[in-house]
């Protein structure tokens, strides 16, 4: 029985290590894209690549029973997005931002770091407009907002507001202003 448990643990560990290795850039590969060449020649970007590989491995372990399995598909999309940095004037800055945001996203989405604060907001004096917020001490700081059947990961901005794909949240003197959706009307919210 102990041998079976040890073998199962060893196989699972080997699979996770292989997944992390598959996720890292292979700087020995014969054909590297423009951005991967840059990453392989820059110690700071290589360090970010290693950190992402470690965080991805941790997320993969937590996503083992995820249905549908979205983590791997999202990671492939992220890799393609990072490759698009070759179009930017500052390719290094673009790649670095991609790494920083992806690491923070995985840490928050898969709760690899403990949340620092949880709030429930009531908006527009309407019980149907309740938003749950869960803040994470990632770099940059993130929060996950849950509104109805929709969830948004938001990154902290320079002005301390948070922005997601089409969502924005800011707070001033205990009043939260939320825009949920592209050009959606602003909602005024307070903690419940």
CATH number of the CATH domain containing 138: 2.40.128
pLDDT of residue 31: 79
pLDDT of residue 56: 97
Query: pLDDT band for position 1 (50/70/90)?
Result: very low
Same domain? For 123 and 34 the reply is no
Closest of 154, 173, 150, 174 to residue 164, by C-alpha: 154
Q: Over the stretch 120-174, which tens digit does the pLDDT of each residue have?
A: 999 999 988 999 999 999 999 999 999 999 999 999 999 999 999 999 999 999 9
Cα(64)–Cα(57) distance, integer angstroms = 11
Same domain? For 150 and 102 the reply is no
Same domain? For 91 and 7 the reply is yes
pLDDT of residue 22: 52
Same domain? For 164 and 104 the reply is no
pLDDT of residue 3: 42
pLDDT of residue 16: 36
Query: pLDDT band for position 66 (50/70/90)?
Result: confident
Query: Residue 10 has which token pair?
Result: 């060893």
Same domain? For 125 and 85 the reply is no
Is residue 112's pLDDT more than 90? Answer: yes
Output the DSSP codes for 97-117: HHHHHHHHHHHHHTTSS--SE
55: Cβ contacts below 8 Å, ≥ 6 apart: 103, 106, 107, 112
Q: Over the stretch 2-45, which tens digit does the pLDDT of each residue have?
A: 443 333 333 333 333 333 345 688 898 877 788 999 999 999 99
Q: Can you name the residues that pair with 147 across neighbouring β-strands?
A: 131, 150
Same domain? For 138 and 85 the reply is no
Cα(182)–Cα(165) distance, integer angstroms = 9
pLDDT of residue 116: 97
Same domain? For 93 and 15 the reply is yes
pLDDT of residue 139: 97
pLDDT of residue 12: 38
Q: What is the pTM of this model?
A: 0.84
Cα(85)–Cα(34) distance, integer angstroms = 9
Domain with 125, as residue range(s), is 117-191
């Amino acid at each position: 029985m102990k041998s079976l448990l040890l073998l199962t643990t060893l196989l699972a560990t080997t699979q996770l290590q292989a997944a992390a290795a598959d996720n890292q850039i292979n700087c020995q590969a014969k054909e590297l894209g423009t951005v991967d060449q840059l990453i392989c020649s820059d110690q700071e970007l290589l360090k970010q690549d290693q950190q992402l590989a470690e965080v991805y491995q941790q997320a993969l372990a937590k996503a083992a029973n995820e249905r549908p399995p979205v983590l791997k598909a999202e990671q492939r999309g992220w890799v393609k997005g990072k490759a698009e940095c070759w179009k930017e004037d500052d390719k290094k800055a673009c790649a670095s931002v991609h790494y920083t945001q992806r690491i923070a996203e995985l840490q928050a989405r898969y709760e690899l770091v403990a949340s620092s604060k949880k709030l429930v907001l009531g908006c527009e004096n309407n019980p149907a407009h309740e938003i749950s917020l869960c803040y994470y001490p990632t770099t940059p700081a993130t929060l996950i907002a849950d509104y109805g059947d929709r969830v948004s990961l938001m990154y902290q901005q320079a002005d301390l507001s948070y922005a997601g794909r089409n969502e924005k949240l800011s707070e001033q003197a205990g009043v939260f202003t939320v825009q949920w959706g592209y050009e959606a009307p602003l909602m005024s919210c307070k903690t419940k």
